[in-house]
């Protein structure tokens, strides 16, 4: 699906320019939380529903960090008491203090908003006594003045969450060019359970097991002897060739889909030999491909003397 066009209401810097302070606002159900999550993944310091009266003091507290390159995104909307009555004065105050605000206003057509509230079963913040349609129209009318102040207006009616995240990331992310997602590699023992945080799980219990070699049993996959035993087997070499090919195909596509973190868990029976060796080799491959990653061996004994 093609991106829906978005409207620039006032002349402003190119979206590719670095914006230090973003104010995310707009009608309820238009995607403000999705935008904030995308900005957080892109390196912004994010706060949802900051009370309007705290904005000047908050920015003063962040002044030094802003000078050091910190980027801030704040969702501020009708959920905050007094927002509609006071936003113009407060925004003007912080601008006079030298803080440049870039206001992004999100909206969507009425049918889309009704469908979203129905799907999520959330209550509109102004719908205590009115119907959802009445609340949406009241909110849209009350925000017309703020809409006119916006530097950018995005109609999210024809965006799914992934498309909206991608739009925000491509226009407002201040990252290294196409910064790669972080990978987290974990070796584990099946006897202790699969790591609950795993996005992908690889079972390497089919590989030859050093546990059945008397000299190797008390050692771990960090030992060169164990590594040689596992890696010298033709089935291991074939497996790694297929694994590297699979990951080289998958990882760029996960990143294009919007993933910023991926946890890959590699398991064997005891979490001491085969899974440790394969996880370490995979880490070496990712280093060669310049992927940032962390690596941990969840169930490996801390020393050979602890092995069981």
User: Is the Cα dihedral 235, 238, 239, 240 positive or negative?
Assistant: positive
- Mark whether 203 and 297 lie in a shared domain: yes
Question: Looking at 172, 197, 216, which one is the last position of a domain?
Answer: 172
3-state secondary structure of 13: coil
Query: Is residue 9, in this structure, part of any structural domain at all?
Result: no
Q: In what helix (H) or strand (E) does residue 160 lie, and over which residues does it extend? A: none
Checking if the pLDDT of 83 tops 60, the result is: yes
- At residue 306 the predicted structure's pLDDT band, cuts being 50, 70 and 90, is very low
Q: In what helix (H) or strand (E) does residue 152 lie, and over which residues does it extend? A: strand 152-155
- Mark whether 166 and 194 lie in a shared domain: no
C-alpha–C-alpha distance, residues 75 and 265, integer Å = 35
Checking if the pLDDT of 239 tops 80, the result is: yes
Query: Is residue 10, in this structure, part of any structural domain at all?
Result: no
For position 23, what pLDDT does the model report? Answer: 96
- Specify which of 106-115, 153-162, 198-207 reaches the highest per-range mean pLDDT: 198-207
- Mark whether 26 and 165 lie in a shared domain: yes
- At residue 8 the predicted structure's pLDDT band, cuts being 50, 70 and 90, is very low
| pTM for the whole structure | 0.56
- Mark whether 245 and 292 lie in a shared domain: yes
- Mark whether 134 and 31 lie in a shared domain: yes
The tally of domains found in the chain comes to 2
Q: What residues pair up with 23 in beta bridges, in sequence order?
A: 74, 103
C-alpha–C-alpha distance, residues 79 and 123, integer Å = 12
C-alpha–C-alpha distance, residues 192 and 189, integer Å = 5
Query: Is residue 105, in this structure, part of any structural domain at all?
Result: yes
Per the CB < 8 A criterion, the answer to whether 209 and 290 are in contact is no
What's the whole-number mean pLDDT along residues 23-43? 91
Rg (CA), the chain: 26
Query: Is residue 251, in this structure, part of any structural domain at all?
Result: yes
Q: What are phi and psi of 176, to 5 degrees?
A: -65, 155
Checking if the pLDDT of 42 tops 80, the result is: yes
- Mark whether 213 and 96 lie in a shared domain: no
Task: Name the strands in the sheet holding 45-48, side by side, starting at the edge strand that comes first in the sequence.
Answer: 45-48, 72-75, 21-26, 101-107, 152-155
Query: Is residue 90, in this structure, part of any structural domain at all?
Result: yes
What does the mean pLDDT of the chain come to? 84
CATH code where residue 143 lies: 3.40.50.300
For position 19, what pLDDT does the model report? Answer: 66
Between 79 and 17, name the one with better pLDDT. Answer: 79
- Mark whether 49 and 191 lie in a shared domain: no
Between 133 and 183, name the one with better pLDDT. Answer: 183
Query: Is residue 277, in this structure, part of any structural domain at all?
Result: yes
What's the whole-number mean pLDDT along residues 44-53? 92
Checking if the pLDDT of 18 tops 70, the result is: no
What's the whole-number mean pLDDT along residues 14-39? 80
Domain that holds residue 289: 182-306
Question: Looking at 172, 204, 228, which one is the last position of a domain?
Answer: 172
Query: Is residue 30, in this structure, part of any structural domain at all?
Result: yes
Question: Looking at 132, 147, 172, which one is the last position of a domain?
Answer: 172
- Angle subtended by helix axes 224-231 and 234-257, to nearest 10: 90
């Amino acid at each position: 699906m093609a991106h829906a066009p978005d409207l620039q209401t006032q002349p402003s810097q190119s979206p590719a320019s670095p914006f230090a302070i973003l104010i995310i606002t707009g009608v309820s159900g238009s995607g403000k939380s999705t935008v904030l999550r995308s900005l957080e993944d892109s390196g912004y310091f994010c706060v949802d529903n900051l009370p309007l009266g705290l904005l000047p003091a908050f920015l003063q507290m962040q002044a030094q960090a802003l000078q050091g390159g910190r980027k801030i995104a704040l969702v501020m909307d009708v959920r905050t008491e007094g927002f509609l009555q006071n936003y113009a004065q407060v925004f003007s105050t912080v601008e006079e203090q030298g803080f440049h605000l870039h206001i992004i206003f999100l909206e969507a057509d009425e049918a889309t908003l009704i469908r979203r509230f129905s799907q999520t079963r959330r209550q509109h913040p102004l719908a205590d006594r009115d119907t959802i349609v009445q609340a949406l129209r009241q909110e849209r009318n009350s925000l017309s003045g703020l809409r006119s102040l916006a530097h950018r207006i995005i109609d999210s009616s024809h965006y799914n969450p992934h498309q909206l995240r991608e739009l925000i990331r491509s226009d407002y992310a201040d990252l290294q060019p196409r910064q790669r997602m972080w990978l987290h590699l974990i070796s584990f023992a099946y006897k202790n359970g699969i790591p609950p945080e795993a996005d992908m799980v690889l079972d390497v219990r089919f590989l030859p097991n050093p546990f059945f070699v008397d000299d190797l049993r008390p050692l771990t996959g960090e030992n060169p002897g164990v590594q040689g035993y596992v890696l010298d087997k033709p089935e291991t070499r074939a497996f790694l060739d297929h694994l590297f090919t699979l990951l080289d195909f998958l990882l760029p596509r996960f990143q294009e889909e919007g993933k910023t973190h991926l946890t890959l868990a590699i398991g064997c029976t005891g979490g001491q030999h085969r899974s440790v060796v394969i996880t370490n080799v995979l880490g070496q491959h990712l280093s060669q491909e310049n992927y940032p990653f962390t690596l941990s061996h969840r169930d490996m004994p801390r020393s050979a003397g602890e092995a069981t």
